[in-house]
Amino acid sequence: MLEVIGAGLGRTGTSSLKLALERLGFTPCYHMFEVLGSSERMRQWTDVAQGGVQDWEAVFHGYRACVDFPAAAYWRELAAHYPEAKVILTLRDPGAWFESARKTIFRLPRLMRHPVFGPVLRLALPRRSRPAAFVRMLGALNRHRRDIAFDRDSAVAYFERHNAEVRAGVPAGRLLVYRVEEGWEPLCAFLGVPVPAEPFPRANESSRFWSNFARTLRERDSGPVRPRSWR
């Protein structure tokens, strides 16, 4: 059962937060790289995006926390389904977030929306391959969440709107608004756990994103993805 729900968008320190939550005992923690590592998880999210039954117990079976996309896009539904779970909204300077997202998580969705390259990409991938399953899942999620464009002004407006909606939609006592550079203290105080005697983890820098992404996508289907697989 989920005890922590990460509502922050990708590229706001979600990979570092995953490692931190697991170090604090909220393990395993669900992240997009968990989805990349499993064709079954891709099928689950495709079903969710296409309006299927939202069986959150099946999606998050065995997990105590979740962060990053696609879970963060469903923060309302998850907060309602897990009323005892605490919610963490990771923040970052909007301009820095856009630059990081532009180089990483925006590239494939932008390519898929391209009138020429999008259809070519979908046709070029073997239908039963995990990359093809990922493309189908991402396409379904993008159709469901059409309120984001990828130019700077639209993306930053989306980023700020998302953060404002989380702040307004989660009671203050249940929500931690957090920047990973703040380190252990506010996170541990919010979760009611001791502060570890070690540095706060840092993971998945923009420079390593695509190598981590490609490696995880081509690995064999797995269970919970361990930090060594994508750090």
Q: What is the pTM of this model?
A: 0.83
- At residue 128 the predicted structure's pLDDT band, cuts being 50, 70 and 90, is low
pLDDT of residue 37: 79
pLDDT of residue 54: 83
What is the Cα–Cα distance from 116 to 52, expressed in whole angstroms? 30
- Please indicate, yes or no, if residue 230 is contained in any of the structural domains: no
- The residue that leads in pLDDT, 168 or 231, is 168
- Please indicate, yes or no, if residue 216 is contained in any of the structural domains: yes
pLDDT at 166 over 60: yes
- Please indicate, yes or no, if residue 42 is contained in any of the structural domains: yes
What is the Cα–Cα distance from 88 to 201, expressed in whole angstroms? 17
- At residue 104 the predicted structure's pLDDT band, cuts being 50, 70 and 90, is confident
Average pLDDT, the chain: 83
- Please indicate, yes or no, if residue 105 is contained in any of the structural domains: yes
Q: Which residues, at least 6 apart from 135, have a Cβ–Cβ distance to it below 8 Å?
A: 112, 121, 122, 125
> Tell me: the pLDDT tens digits for 204-223?
665 566 566 666 666 656 55
- Please indicate, yes or no, if residue 227 is contained in any of the structural domains: no
8-state DSSP, 64: S
Residue 89: its H or E element:
strand 86-90
Q: What is the mean pLDDT of residues 142-151?
A: 68
For helices 130-144 and 209-218, give the axis angle rounded to 10 degrees: 120
Q: What is the mean pLDDT of residues 146-156?
A: 81
> Tell me: the pLDDT tens digits for 46-59?
899 888 778 999 99
Greatest CA separation for the chain: 53
Q: Classify residue 47 as exposed, middle or buried by CB count within 10 Å of its CB (0-12, 13-18, 19+).
A: middle
What is the SS3 assignment for 177?
Answer: strand
- Please indicate, yes or no, if residue 231 is contained in any of the structural domains: no
- Please indicate, yes or no, if residue 144 is contained in any of the structural domains: yes
- Please indicate, yes or no, if residue 104 is contained in any of the structural domains: yes
Contact 91, 163 (CB under 8 A): yes
pLDDT at 130 over 70: no
pLDDT of residue 131: 59
Range of the domain at 207: 4-220
Provide the residue count of the chain.
231
- At residue 11 the predicted structure's pLDDT band, cuts being 50, 70 and 90, is very high
Q: What is the mean pLDDT of residues 170-175?
A: 97
Rounded to 5°, the CA angle 193-198-202 comes to 95
Q: What is the mean pLDDT of residues 23-43?
A: 91
Please tell me the total count of domains within the chain: 1
- The residue that leads in pLDDT, 203 or 132, is 203
8-state DSSP, 208: G
- The residue that leads in pLDDT, 118 or 109, is 109
- At residue 182 the predicted structure's pLDDT band, cuts being 50, 70 and 90, is very high
pLDDT of residue 186: 98
What is the Cα–Cα distance from 70 to 77, expressed in whole angstroms? 12
One-letter amino acid of 225 = V
pLDDT of residue 171: 97
Residue 24's domain is classified under what CATH number?
Answer: 3.40.50.300
